[in-house]
Structure 1
Amino acid sequence: MTDAGIEYDTINCETAEGEDISSSYGIRNVPTVIVLDDNGEKEELFIGLGQIIANLEVIKKYSKEARFTYMPDLENDLVDEIYRVAQQCNVKWFDGSFYVFDGKIYVAVSNDAIEGAFKVWMSRIGLKISQKRKQQIFRNEFLPMVKLSNKLSPRLDIVAFSNGILDLSDITFHDFSPEYHVMYYHPYKYDKKAKCNLWQKFLKEVLPDKRSRIILQMFLGLGLIERGTVYNQCEGKDHPKIELCLILIGEGANGKSVIYQTAMGIFGRDRISGIDYDELTSQGDEGMRARRLLREAIFNWSSDSDSRTFGRKRTGVFKRIVSGEPVTDRSIGNNVTQNFNLPYLIFNLNELPYPDDNSLGFIRRLQFISFDVTIPKANQNKTLAQDLTAEYSGIFNWILRGTKEIRKRKFQFPDSEGSRRQLLLAQLRGNPIVAWINAYHIRSIPQAPNEQCIWVSAKEVVRCVEDFCRDNDVECPSKQKIGHTLTDHYFDKKRTADGYEYKMYGVSLGQLLDPFVIRNESFAIEGEDEDGFIDAND
């Protein structure tokens, strides 16, 4: 509707008592401005202005007395009433653009269309003022009041479908209404009973590990949660911060692209940006212009990221985005601004990245889902993404179950076999000592009262790390590096006659001497999942 056409219609002018006063006010056939969208459907730009105009005494005075003469008292009254009109009209302001309700959602409309409608409206109601003054009133009085009073406040938990509005805060379904500030509607129906059998069958084939499917389901479920509602200690919201970037890792022909295309269809192409790591973290204007695309996005999903550049340099910006902390952006020709509403990050990688940042602060922000199953060419369905469009209503319900599940788990993701393996492999490339600590579940502090520790000599630690690195085919760090890493991870040490010893919890010396080859280990999670919102077929 940006370049919408304009036409005019008449409205009834009645007082609250039902008296038609349009004739006495000299404003018979008062028009309401109608905006035509691209499909030729009408939408009132100024809803209810007939009733407002009919009760404005200043309109009568201007129509019969002003005659283009400047009258200070009338001028002040007119400005006051223009403020009132601006506050009650159906024009909204959001992020640098004006919006009007089109019967389903709010859509952008150009300033020129609003100004043209405003001028014609003022002329048709009989105001005897110049075109220049009309423009001044529009730009200096009307628009500023709209920006101040009529702000659009979109929320991720208010979702529009082709058949109505779903309020996820209480899972209630409503008819379309301007009360719901939605700027995108999903081009499929909401049906709480809809199933997604084909989708579930596909996921079980490419992700046989149930925990991996749950992680995917829960992460996509974040797209239905307003990020600011998850944590805000000032408002008493003490849930843990979501500080995870989802990494879908695996070579080709394993279903990652089908999941990506389906998510685009479910959430909308306008709600998923696709900025790769290098652009996302770039410095200067290049990086700020790229990050501008993150605004209003639910996810930033890079569908074909380069493993060679992911995590290379500028990891500070990446960590801020993952943590939901504001970053600067800029559109061409405008000033630098801060974005406080950042999307969740997802990257599709064919192989493990080689990050420069080997710190725990970087690695802990990566949530891996490992796609280890390669679909044989003879079994590949090239139209699967298209076939799944018929199940969008059911897939949305599947995602909604993920939303409920992550709330139930207090925004904590479960471990999975593939995720743990990929995390250790990533740590192995970055800092083998950290991988060794996590592989053997070594801790620097007790987890329970009276938990017994062991003291391991520095020589034994070096020998164990060397064996671990040799078994996993990586170069072993120096003795000094091993010592510095253990100190950085808060392991206590003491000097003895034979040298230093380190205090360790959660492991025995015999376990440390057992070989641990990451690629050969089974990371199966023991025990069944507790009852939750995840369906048995998910």
Structure 2
Amino acid sequence: MLTPIYKNIPLELQDRPQWVVWRLENREGKPTKVPFNPKRPQAGAMSNNPKTWGAFALAQRISKMNGFKGPGYMFSKDDPYSGIDLDKCRDPETSEIAAWAWKEIKRLNSYTEVSPSATGVKIWVKGILPLSGRKKGNYEMYSDTRFFTMTGHHLEGTPTTIEDRQVELTALHREVFGEAPDPQATSARPRPELSFSDSQVIERARGAKNGDKFSRLMRGDISGQKSGSEADLALCSILAFWTQDREQINRIFQTSGLYRNPGREKKWNRPTAGSTYGMKTIDKAINDTTETYQGPGFNKDNGRRTRPAGSAKVEEDPKPQAKRAPVNTFNLTDMGNAQRIVAKHGQDIRYCYPWGKWLVWDEARWKKDDTGEVDRRAKATVQSIYTEAGREKDKDRRKGIAQFAMRCESELKRKAMIASAMSEPGIPILPDEMDRDPWLLNVLNGTIDLKVRELRPHRKGDLITKLAPVKYDPAATCSTWEKFLKRIMADNQNLIGFLQRSVGYALTGDTREQCLFFLWGLGANGKSTFLEVIHALMGDYAKRTSSETFLAKKPGQIPNDIAALKGARFVAAVEIESGRRMAEVLIKQMTGGDKIAARFLHAEFFEYDPEFKIFLAANHEPVIRGTDNAIWRRIHKIPFAVQIPIEEQDRELPHRLREELPGILNWALAGCLQWRYGGLGVPEEVKQATQDYRADMDVLGDFISEHCTVAPGASAPSKDLYKTYRDWAEDIKEKNPLSQTKFGLALTERGFEVKRTTGGAKLRKGIALKN
């Protein structure tokens, strides 16, 4: 059996949650490929039950265990793929393909791979099979209710992508099985060329005439709608023009701000009359849609359904910025100048009042104007006033416009133009409107949808202000990075995989894991290099901060450092002085998923939702006095146990690793998908290191073991226990002894309950002082 080469499997298949694992079992006296559920490997997978399928990353991991031979893909009526299995056509020794099989491979000209036995090939195409005719001789063809084992052993000379081959597939099926009894069978599902991925639907909807309305609804903005329910239906109706797939509309809707708004998720999934509110809304949108997208010949500029004559009129959507007025209709005033600059440049400039900053579209993102770009555009606008004068037929008015233009060349007039333009319709923007989608990652050559690992062009409507300074190249590799990880992790694949999933998680703005990554180890172990490379990869999405940010501070200190972390997804801090205490309450707040309050110097407090994942690297363990799970469940201590000898240290390594950033991005994107479908998957090495850390921090445990007896019938006066503890803490020079209240709470957490004597004194049950 061939060992799978996972990286060669087409990404569009990897992105679908239709994966199983398989192994050989003896059925009726012969070995049979049997599929199993990757989420419950002991249970079989069913071709008609998607709940028994899983994500590619999970199937990849499980397929390497428990005697499984590899991953398999389960065909479904909801995907556009068909598979052709040509059996007994390849010599496993010479790799020679039979002539009859080469004919079919060349005819279909799509992704082809060698089967697990190495004696056959499987061809993948986009196209739908007729209802009958699946197996005959050395031919098998399937498009649903069956699975294909996959090896990733790509057949050289064939495409690495899955191509649309409906015509060729239909012809091949007819030649092998004869005429199909139902000539309309291929219309049972939408033709593949009209089937779009989720991100393609979103891209087309945003680029249509009502794209601004769609973008507002996707951001969760219900302005212009009578209610939240009306907004839900409006968004579903736009989507129903582009796709009639209920599940696809549901998936896309659940990425929208409407779904994420407070209380909306619960309403969307609320049961009602044998369905849910959400699915009933989708059904109404589909049923009310009188025309859907019809392909390239359709009017692409009209992103709304057309209605028959006499039906209700569809109102036009407002433009995102003021319409440009005809020449010479602007007043010769500061307000007129504001309208001029918006007419010429309004599509590329925005003003954020809370920030006190202009933003300019630089063809990749909305970037803060730190170089005077808006002023340069104001100067160009002044020059255009002379053009207005030249077009004016009235001599006196032409002279007046030219004189006005000359006055506007002054700095004072330009500043007045810019200041007045700040409030023009379509120009103001709020911080909460920007960078709202936690699943978009902006890179140099486009924007990556992290949910499906798909690149699309930069779009103004995404309102992204950040940029990772790397190009997405799906073919890029990172051999030096992989060698580096093997060296610093002693080739421990469990730890390397955890680092990959952790970084993949950090690519997103999602914070569901509620954790802190603590990279611990003595010097010269690669921690700093690792963090520097990830910081370089993520660019604007990454922030450095002092370790003081996460350590206990004196009351009253201004949280400037916390304010500066707004909008970051990856936050790195290095080095901690020995004996410093972790700011445990703050860590809980930062990783808890709730808003945190912060302010800059001489500014008011503000609140924001943290998106960042904390990566703290140090040689010393910060002191954690909390003994409850509320703090310890958040800590993932990753041991960096390898120390690189001086003679082996490479000062040029960071530079060479930066040259591999496109490949490292692919490594991180793979980790993101693994995390999304399988979670962080904390390995035993990290769990044990964290448990050891917790034990080291358990000063109260040391006191109990040295001075107390724990037994069911034991008891001791609370005041005696605390006095003995204080004396002990003073003897060992404990820097942060527990107060009497915290000491009592800690005992209660350990199960030592309070009992009062008849005289009212407090006793602790289950614990007694020695001697």
TM-score by shorter chain over 0.5: yes
Alpha carbons of structure 1 residues 67 and 250: separation in structure 2 relative to 1, 3 Å: closer
Corresponding residue to 1:219 among 502, 506, 509: 502
> In structure 2, the residue corresponding to 1:332 is in which secondary structure?
coil
User: How far does residue 247 in structure 1 lie from its aligned partner after superposition?
Assistant: 0.4
- Using the TM superposition, name which of 299-308 and 361-370 deviates more: 299-308
> In structure 2, the residue corresponding to 1:107 is in which secondary structure?
strand
Corresponding residue to 2:381 among 121, 128, 150: 121
> In structure 1, the residue corresponding to 2:676 is in which secondary structure?
helix
User: How far does residue 116 in structure 1 lie from its aligned partner after superposition?
Assistant: 5.9
d(CA) in 2 for partners of 1:178, 1:346? 31
Contact 1:326 1:342 in 2 (8 A): no
d(CA) in 2 for partners of 1:429, 1:280? 15
User: How far does residue 402 in structure 1 lie from its aligned partner after superposition?
Assistant: 1.6
Alpha carbons of structure 1 residues 416 and 196: separation in structure 2 relative to 1, 3 Å: farther
Contact 1:271 1:297 in 2 (8 A): yes
d(CA) in 2 for partners of 1:489, 1:296? 39
- The equivalent residue for 1:202 is 484
d(CA) in 2 for partners of 1:179, 1:413? 35
User: How far does residue 406 in structure 1 lie from its aligned partner after superposition?
Assistant: 1.6
User: How far does residue 329 in structure 1 lie from its aligned partner after superposition?
Assistant: 2.3
Residue-by-residue CA offset, 1:443-486 (whole Å, 9 max, x unaligned): xxxxxxxxxxxx973569xxxxxxxxxxxxx99x99x9999756
> In structure 2, the residue corresponding to 1:260 is in which secondary structure?
helix
Instruction: Give runs of aligned pairs for residues 294-309 of structure 1, distance below 5 A.
Output: 294-309=565-580
- The equivalent residue for 1:250 is 521
Corresponding residue to 2:350 among 80, 83, 92: 92
- The equivalent residue for 1:20 is none
> How many pairs are equivalent?
393
Let me know the Cα RMSD of the aligned residues.
Answer: 4.5
> What amino acid is aligned across from residue 92 of structure 1 in structure 2?
R
Contact 1:370 1:422 in 2 (8 A): no
Instruction: Give runs of aligned pairs for residues 7-46 of structure 1, distance below 5 A.
Output: none
> What amino acid is aligned across from residue 606 of structure 2 in structure 1?
T
User: How far does residue 337 in structure 1 lie from its aligned partner after superposition?
Assistant: 1.6
> What amino acid is aligned across from residue 685 of structure 2 in structure 1?
E
- The equivalent residue for 2:712 is 457
User: How far does residue 147 in structure 1 lie from its aligned partner after superposition?
Assistant: 4.9
Corresponding residue to 1:273 among 544, 569, 590: 544
Matched, 1:189 2:189: no
Corresponding residue to 1:143 among 423, 430, 434: 423
d(CA) in 2 for partners of 1:257, 1:392? 17
d(CA) in 2 for partners of 1:435, 1:253? 35
d(CA) in 2 for partners of 1:145, 1:109? 20
Contact 1:249 1:369 in 2 (8 A): yes
> In structure 2, the residue corresponding to 1:334 is in which secondary structure?
coil
- Which of 1 and 2 has higher RCO (CA within 8 Å, sep 6+)? 1
User: How far does residue 415 in structure 1 lie from its aligned partner after superposition?
Assistant: 3.4
Contact 1:105 1:182 in 2 (8 A): yes
> In structure 2, the residue corresponding to 1:186 is in which secondary structure?
coil
> In structure 1, the residue corresponding to 2:643 is in which secondary structure?
coil
Alpha carbons of structure 1 residues 179 and 121: separation in structure 2 relative to 1, 3 Å: same
Instruction: Give runs of aligned pairs for residues 108-507 of structure 1, distance below 5 A.
Output: 108-110=368-370, 113-115=373-375, 117-118=377-378, 121=381, 123-124=385-386, 125=388, 138-140=418-420, 142-143=422-423, 145-148=425-428, 153-154=434-435, 155-208=437-490, 209-227=492-510, 241-268=512-539, 271-278=542-549, 282=553, 286-311=557-582, 314-409=583-678, 411-431=679-699, 433=701, 457=712, 485=746, 487-489=748-750
Alpha carbons of structure 1 residues 435 and 360: separation in structure 2 relative to 1, 3 Å: farther
Contact 1:433 1:482 in 2 (8 A): no
Alpha carbons of structure 1 residues 205 and 137: separation in structure 2 relative to 1, 3 Å: closer
Larger radius of gyration: 2
d(CA) in 2 for partners of 1:356, 1:192? 46
Contact 1:317 1:327 in 2 (8 A): no
User: How far does residue 336 in structure 1 lie from its aligned partner after superposition?
Assistant: 2.1
Alpha carbons of structure 1 residues 435 and 81: separation in structure 2 relative to 1, 3 Å: farther
Contact 2:516 2:615 in 1 (8 A): yes
- Using the TM superposition, name which of 214-223 and 270-279 deviates more: 270-279
User: How far does residue 271 in structure 1 lie from its aligned partner after superposition?
Assistant: 2.0
- Using the TM superposition, name which of 128-137 and 204-213 deviates more: 128-137
Matched, 1:104 2:364: yes
Alpha carbons of structure 1 residues 83 and 249: separation in structure 2 relative to 1, 3 Å: same
Residue-by-residue CA offset, 1:314-339 (whole Å, 9 max, x unaligned): 42122211223322222234322223
Alpha carbons of structure 1 residues 328 and 501: separation in structure 2 relative to 1, 3 Å: closer
> In structure 2, the residue corresponding to 1:194 is in which secondary structure?
coil
The percentage of aligned residue pairs carrying the same residue is 17
> In structure 2, the residue corresponding to 1:215 is in which secondary structure?
helix
d(CA) in 2 for partners of 1:289, 1:482? 33
User: How far does residue 299 in structure 1 lie from its aligned partner after superposition?
Assistant: 1.9
Contact 1:279 1:286 in 2 (8 A): no
d(CA) in 2 for partners of 1:389, 1:80? 44
* Residue ranges of structure 2 left out of the alignment (5+ in a row): 1-318, 390-399, 716-731, 756-763
- The equivalent residue for 2:12 is none
User: How far does residue 245 in structure 1 lie from its aligned partner after superposition?
Assistant: 0.7
Alpha carbons of structure 1 residues 191 and 332: separation in structure 2 relative to 1, 3 Å: same
Residue-by-residue CA offset, 1:83-112 (whole Å, 9 max, x unaligned): 984995211345612221222333221596
Contact 1:321 1:342 in 2 (8 A): no
> What amino acid is aligned across from residue 488 of structure 1 in structure 2?
E
> In structure 2, the residue corresponding to 1:143 is in which secondary structure?
coil
User: How far does residue 256 in structure 1 lie from its aligned partner after superposition?
Assistant: 0.8
